[in-house]
Each structure stands twice: as C-alpha cells, then as structure tokens.
Amino acid sequence: MTILSGVSFSVGGGEALILRAPNGAGKTTLLRCLAGLTPPVSGEIGFGFDDVAYAAHADGLKAQLSVAENLRFWAEVYGTRDIAPAVEAFSLSALMGRRAMHLSAGQKRRLSLARLLLTGRSLWALDEPTVSLDAEAVGWFAQAVTAHLEIGGAAIIATHIDLGLPSARVLELSQFRHDPDTTSGAFDEAFL
C-alpha cells in the first residue's frame, strides 16, 4: 500500500530535519523506510542503512536487565567501548544498577535515547523521541542532538512538540499524502 508519494528531501551533515504530520500520516513508515526495515514501493534512498541509527516508539529495553546491562549490550553490538558519555548525557548514573522494569516511562525513554550515542552512526532517524520525557529531559535530548550535529552528524526527527533546535528545518509530510488518482511521476527519494 502506498502511503506517501513524491517525497523528496536531502539532509547534509550537521543538519536536522523535523518531520511534521498528523497522526497516521506516514511518519513512522517513512522513518522505517530510511532505517531499511520497510522497502519503499518505488524510489531511491541515497545513503547506506549502515549509517542510520533508528529509534522507534518502543524502547527496545529488556525489563529483566539493569540499566548498565542494557547499555553495555548495545555498546558491544555497535563495538563502542565507553558508555560513560551516553550515561552522562541523559543523567542515568544514579539508575545504573536498577532493572529496566523498575524504571518510569520517562526514565526508560532516556535509557532508550542514550543507546543512540552508543551507535556511533551519523544519521539518527527518531520516531517521536520525546514521548513521556519531562521538560528537563527534553532539554538533555536537544543538547544531545545539537552535540551530534556539531560533530557532523544528521538527524531526522518525527515529533509533535518544539524541540528547541533553532537550526532544524521542518518538513510537512501531509503535502505528500498519496492520492491514488495522481500516480504519474510519483517518486520517493532522499539523499544524504
């Protein structure tokens, strides 16, 4: 089923792109395409999936493992040695020994976002990353994204709130809503 058509954008190093659209308009679908999980019906994605760090609605944490074990697992998967910067960025150090099942929703989200710093990948594809975060944690998240952009990374973020990223461009997805009658020339591409 085609959901979006004619989507075309480019994101360079140091740039952030905010995806905005009403619920169900295809933000998640687009991000899953960019992460290589859902192949696009047609079109071209101009970067390797090995550059993308994807963060979904679900936190992807193991409830029976501690915060430290969850982080160390992802660090090992991505071949990262040092988990300290990720712990600091989302101020998780007080929670390190606690099992993920005993965390609040916002703490889980922070742990899930800290994983991004461990991936060492240049393009972050984030699906509503600030859900259940408090204002302070949204600030930490914005700092983490800014730091990532400063070292030449890029971010594509689907969100409904203002993240406090002044440099970010906004892409309204609702303009690309697929209309079954006008399929001529429809293409779907993104370049990095």
Partner 1 sequence: MIALLRRDLALTLRSGGGFGLALAFFLILVVLIPFGVGPQSELLSRIAPGVLWVGALLACLLSLDRIFQLDFEDGSLDLLATSPLPLESLALLKALTHWLTTGLPLTVAAPFLGVFLSLPGEAVVWLVSSLALGTPALSLIGAFGAALTVGLKRGGLLISLLVLPLYVPTLIFGAECVRRGAEGLAASTPLLFVAGITAGCVAALPFATASALRVNLR
Binding marks (x or -) toward partner 1, 121..160, rule CB under 8 A? ----------------------------------------
57 binds partner 1 (CB under 8 A): yes
Sequence-separated (6 or more) residues with CB below 8 Å from residue 55? 112, 113, 115, 116, 124, 125, 126, 127, 129
- 104 near partner 1, rule: CB under 8 A: no
- A 10 A CB-CB count for 54 gives 21
Can you tell me which of 48, 62, 147, 161 binds partner 1, judged by CB under 8 A?
62
Contacts of 51 (CB under 8 A, 6+ apart): 121, 122, 123, 192
Q: From the list 26, 27, 40, 59, which residue makes contact with partner 1 (rule: CB under 8 A)?
A: 59
Site string for partner 1, 106-125 (x = CB under 8 A): ---------x---x------
Phi, psi (rounded to 5 degrees) for 89: -60, -35
- Residue 61 interacts with partner 1 (CB under 8 A): yes or no: yes
Q: Which of these, 145, 166, 143, 139, lies nearest to 157 by C-alpha position?
A: 145
Bridge partner list, 124 = 53, 155
27 near partner 1 (CB under 8 A):
no
Kindly indicate which of the ranges 67-75, 88-96, 134-142, 176-184 contains the residues binding partner 1, using the contact rule CB under 8 A: 67-75
56 lies in the site for partner 1, by CB under 8 A: yes
The residue type found at 174 is S
Positions in the binding site for partner 1 (CB under 8 A): 32, 35-39, 49-50, 52-65, 69, 72-74, 76-79, 115, 119
